């Protein structure tokens, strides 16, 4: 027996030695070794027993050392960059600094990497949409810059599919950035031969300093409602996280990982729910809602959940102390990418300059074709096209007047432009969370593309007063329902020509009260008539011709054209508005009957993270 044990140990070490050298012992060599061992004289047995015991003791010591081994692991998170390559103002900040810029962010990333070789960088989605450069290159401008960052994992956001399935797979089907998404499938109707297959791997395995990590991904739970199903044809999203338990079990019990990290674009509210209801996830890095977690949310079972705002203005850093592959201590740093305190990385800055040179005023500028509507970009995007009398943004917290989830100066301004240029009674823009911040003063064309980067045109359609009320109620329910899985994405729509009271505590269908419309003849706001007809202006796509701003048309739809009958992108329509108007919208069009709920997880919120429980 001692001989067998001794041989087994020696053979294991022997084989290990060859493996390290990428060699394997021959069958002849193994047989000779076994024969020689078996033919040893009996007098050697005590020595072998002593050697065996020493080896076992050494192995035990190594096992004990491995058990007590401490690893320091750093996780870095970017998310919801939305096409922003250069800094922009922060108007909700006290001193309105310039924040963000990918060259500045990269500097901070490299500074952190220099302090810990065991650093992983993750991108949690909504990256390649949100700017002119992203739009007209179908995401390539952002990819060219971020390829330099060295991402270790990525969960796509819904806006990362905006250029269609073929473009998405062209960019991310080759393991770029380590993309993972367990809930996005080939649509079996379009791809019957791929029924049940995911576009990207549902998870991947990372090993850092001997620690085995399962990186699980959830992409967005929804398609892109603002454009319509045509833009994500061939893609099927699931919306409830039903895949999580199965993959958690696989990672824990089959892959035998030490840790599970989830990168998810389901939004902070839903990701906290996953952390609370699915045991086995150590860290969730979240995107979609643009919320900020200076202090991570820690669920009842210890899952750490983080989200890092928008536009590349923040960088999350989670430092983990691991013992035997388990988290024993953690610390979180919420970095602000403040251009006053960080120098831009020269290499990344040069790449950004090169990506932008065909879009800004220079000898390299060229005309670009909008991939959605065919409209031409003939003007450099750094051209000043108007003036803002007030700051334009939609980013206020819930404890501030005009909370982002309710209203914003930017959406008020854009809805005014749509209504005026279309000659409508009501102008509407969906409650997008993305956008930018514009200080009072010059408005550049690229600012407008940050607000409207998806190739929409503006069209008129006639609707009833009741249809308007129904849309308002639907938008309110989709933003404040106490069941966060009933949310429809984004915030309350922005409107021009309407005023109303909003009671977020009322039951569904009763939140919109005292609804009034501006009467251009009397110059006053008057109660809306549910049976009357009104002209409504909103986003429109030729690919979805009977939908105007989410209203299903039952009458003629009239797209707004340019002076010579040419296709007019929404950005150009707003440029025309700014030729005769400044951006100075009437504010507080929506009156909150009662304040929004207080934050529930210790951080300020833009949208109530548990919705709003109905009181009556």
Q: Is the pLDDT of residue 29 over 60?
A: no
Residues 381-392: b if buried by 16+ CB within 10 A, e if exposed: beeebbebebbb
Q: Is the pLDDT of residue 559 over 50?
A: yes
pLDDT value of residue 65: 62
- In a 3-state reduction of DSSP, which class is residue 112? helix
pLDDT value of residue 12: 30
Read off the pLDDT of each residue in 152-170 and give the average, rounded to a whole number. 98
Please report which confidence band the pLDDT of residue 324 belongs to, taking 50, 70 and 90 as the band edges.
very high
Read off the pLDDT of each residue in 376-402 and give the average, rounded to a whole number. 98
Task: Name the strand (E) or helix (H) holding 330.
Answer: strand 326-336
Q: Is the pLDDT of residue 25 over 80?
A: no
pLDDT value of residue 450: 99
Q: Where are the domains of the chain?
A: 2-67, 70-346, 381-592
pLDDT value of residue 615: 87
Please report which confidence band the pLDDT of residue 16 belongs to, taking 50, 70 and 90 as the band edges.
very low
Residues of the chain above pLDDT 70, percent: 89
CATH superfamily for 381-592 is: 5'-Nucleotidase, C-terminal domain (3.90.780.10)
Using the Cα atoms of residue 408, residue 414, residue 420 and residue 423 in order, give the sign of their dihedral: negative
Distance CA 354, CA 485 (A): 42
Question: Poorest-confidence range of 39-43, 56-60, 147-151?
Answer: 39-43
Nearest to 615 by CA among 477, 511, 519, 505: 505
Q: Is the pLDDT of residue 58 over 90?
A: no
CB contact set of 246 (below 8 Å; sequence gap of 6+)? none
This prediction's pTM? 0.89
Pairing outcome for strands 297-298 and 211-218: unpaired
Q: Is the pLDDT of residue 2 over 60?
A: no
Nearest to 440 by CA among 569, 582, 257: 582
Read off the pLDDT of each residue in 199-213 and give the average, rounded to a whole number. 98
Nearest to 498 by CA among 444, 572, 419: 419
Question: Poorest-confidence range of 49-53, 170-174, 185-189, 488-492?
Answer: 49-53
Q: Is the pLDDT of residue 42 over 80?
A: no
Q: Is the pLDDT of residue 418 over 80?
A: yes
CATH superfamily for 70-346 is: Metallo-dependent phosphatases (3.60.21.10)
Please report which confidence band the pLDDT of residue 226 belongs to, taking 50, 70 and 90 as the band edges.
confident
Please report which confidence band the pLDDT of residue 61 belongs to, taking 50, 70 and 90 as the band edges.
low
Q: What is residue 169's DSSP assignment?
A: H
pLDDT value of residue 591: 98
Distance of CA 391 to the CA centre of its chain: 25
Q: Is the pLDDT of residue 51 over 80?
A: no
Pairing outcome for strands 259-264 and 297-298: unpaired
Instruction: Mark out the alpha helices in 192-337 (DSSP H runs).
Output: 244-249, 268-277
Please report which confidence band the pLDDT of residue 66 belongs to, taking 50, 70 and 90 as the band edges.
low
From residue 171, give the alpha-carbon distance in Å to each of 80, 121, 128, 175.
18, 19, 10, 9
Length of the chain: 616
pLDDT value of residue 62: 60
- At 518-532, the pLDDT tens digits run 999 999 999 999 999
Between 570 and 6, where is the model more confident?
570
Nearest to 67 by CA among 256, 321, 320, 324: 324
From residue 48, give the alpha-carbon distance in Å to each of 183, 204, 441.
56, 44, 86
Please report which confidence band the pLDDT of residue 53 belongs to, taking 50, 70 and 90 as the band edges.
low
Q: Is the pLDDT of residue 1 over 50?
A: no
Nearest to 291 by CA among 79, 122, 125: 79
- At 235-252, the pLDDT tens digits run 999 999 999 999 999 999
Residues of the chain above pLDDT 90, percent: 88
Q: Is the pLDDT of residue 8 over 70?
A: no
Nearest to 487 by CA among 474, 478, 495, 475: 478
- In a 3-state reduction of DSSP, which class is residue 432? coil
Read off the pLDDT of each residue in 213-238 and give the average, rounded to a whole number. 95
Q: Is the pLDDT of residue 234 over 60?
A: yes
Instruction: Mark out the alpha helices in 548-602 (DSSP H runs).
Output: 570-578
Output the average pLDDT for the chain: 92
Q: Is the pLDDT of residue 169 over 60?
A: yes
Nearest to 88 by CA among 383, 435, 475, 425: 435
DSSP string, 454-475: S--EEEEEEEEHHHHHHHHHHH
Instruction: Mark out the alpha helices in 310-397 (DSSP H runs).
Output: 346-356
3-state secondary structure 510-559: CCEEEEEEEECCCCEEEECCCCCEEEEEEEECCCCCCEECCEECCCCCEE
From residue 331, give the alpha-carbon distance in Å to each of 11, 48, 213, 274.
44, 50, 19, 22
Instruction: Mark out the alpha helices in 156-265 (DSSP H runs).
Output: 165-172, 244-249
Nearest to 490 by CA among 536, 433, 437: 433
Distance of CA 93 to the CA centre of its chain: 22
Q: Is the pLDDT of residue 41 over 60?
A: no
Distance CA 214, CA 304 (A): 15
């Amino acid at each position: 027996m001692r001989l067998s044990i001794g041989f087994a140990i020696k053979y294991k070490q022997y084989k290990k030695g060859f493996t390290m050298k990428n060699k394997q012992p021959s069958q002849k060599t193994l047989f000779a070794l076994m024969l020689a061992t078996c033919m040893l004289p009996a007098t050697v047995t005590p020595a072998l027993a002593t050697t065996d015991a020493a080896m076992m003791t050494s192995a035990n010591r190594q096992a004990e050392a491995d058990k007590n081994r401490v690893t320091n692991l750093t996780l870095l998170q970017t998310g919801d960059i939305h096409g922003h390559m250069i800094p922009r103002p922060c108007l909700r900040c006290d001193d309105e600094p310039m924040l963000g810029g990918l060259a500045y962010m990269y500097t901070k990333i490299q500074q952190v990497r220099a302090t810990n070789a065991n650093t992983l960088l993750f991108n949690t989605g909504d990256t390649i949409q949100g700017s002119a450069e992203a739009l007209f290159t179908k995401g390539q401008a952002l990819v060219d810059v971020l390829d330099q960052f060295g991402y270790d994992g990525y969960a796509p956001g819904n806006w990362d599919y905006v250029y269609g399935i073929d473009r998405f797979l062209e960019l991310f089907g080759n393991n770029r950035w380590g993309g993972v998404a367990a809930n996005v499938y080939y649509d079996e109707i379009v791809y019957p031969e791929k029924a049940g297959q995911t576009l990207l791997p549902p998870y991947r395995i990372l090993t850092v300093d001997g620690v085995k990590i399962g990186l699980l991904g959830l992409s967005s739970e929804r398609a892109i409602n603002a454009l319509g199903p045509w833009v994500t044809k061939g893609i099927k999203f699931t919306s409830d996280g039903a895949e999580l338990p199965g993959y958690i079990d696989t990672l824990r019990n089959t892959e035998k990982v030490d840790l599970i990290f989830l990168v998810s674009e389901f939004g902070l509210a839903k990701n906290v729910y996953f952390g609370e209801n699915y045991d086995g996830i150590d860290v969730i890095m979240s995107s979609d809602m643009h919320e900020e977690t200076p202090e991570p949310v820690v669920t009842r079972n210890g899952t750490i959940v983080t989200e890092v705002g928008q536009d590349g203005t923040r960088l999350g850093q989670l430092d983990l102390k691991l013992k035997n592959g388990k988290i024993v201590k953690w610390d979180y740093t919420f970095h602000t990418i403040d251009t006053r305190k960080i120098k831009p990385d020269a290499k990344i800055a040069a790449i950004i300059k090169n990506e932008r040179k065909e879009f800004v005023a220079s000898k390299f500028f060229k005309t670009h074709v909008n991939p959605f509507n065919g409209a031409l970009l003939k003007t450099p995007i750094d051209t000043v096209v108007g003036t803002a009398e007030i700051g334009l943004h939609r980013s206020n917290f819930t404890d501030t007047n005009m909370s982002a989830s309710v209203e914003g100066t930017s959406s008020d301004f854009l809805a005014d432009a749509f209504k005026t240029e279309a000659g409508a009674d009501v102008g509407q823009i969906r409650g997008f969370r993305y956008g930018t911040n514009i200080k009072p003063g010059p408005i550049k064309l690229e600012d407008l593309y940050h607000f409207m980067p998806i190739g929409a045109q503006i069209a008129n359609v006639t609707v009833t007063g009741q249809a308007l009320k129904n849309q308002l109620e639907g938008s309110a329910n989709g933003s404040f329902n106490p069941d966060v899985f009933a949310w429809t994405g984004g915030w309350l729509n922005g409107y021009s020509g309407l005023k109303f009271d909003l009671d977020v505590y009322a039951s569904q269908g009763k939140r919109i009260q005292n609804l009034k419309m501006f009467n251009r003849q009397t110059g006053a706001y008057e109660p809306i008539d549910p049976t009357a007809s009104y002209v409504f202006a909103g986003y429109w796509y030729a690919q979805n011709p009977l939908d105007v701003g989410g209203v299903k048309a039952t009458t003629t739809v009239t797209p707004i054209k340019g002076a010579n009958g040419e296709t007019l992108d929404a950005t150009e329509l707003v440029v025309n508005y700014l030729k005769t108007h400044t951006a100075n919208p009437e504010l507080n069009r929506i009156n909150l009957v009662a304040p929004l709920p207080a934050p529930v997880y210790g951080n300020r919120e833009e949208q109530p993270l548990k919705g709003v429980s109905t009181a009556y």
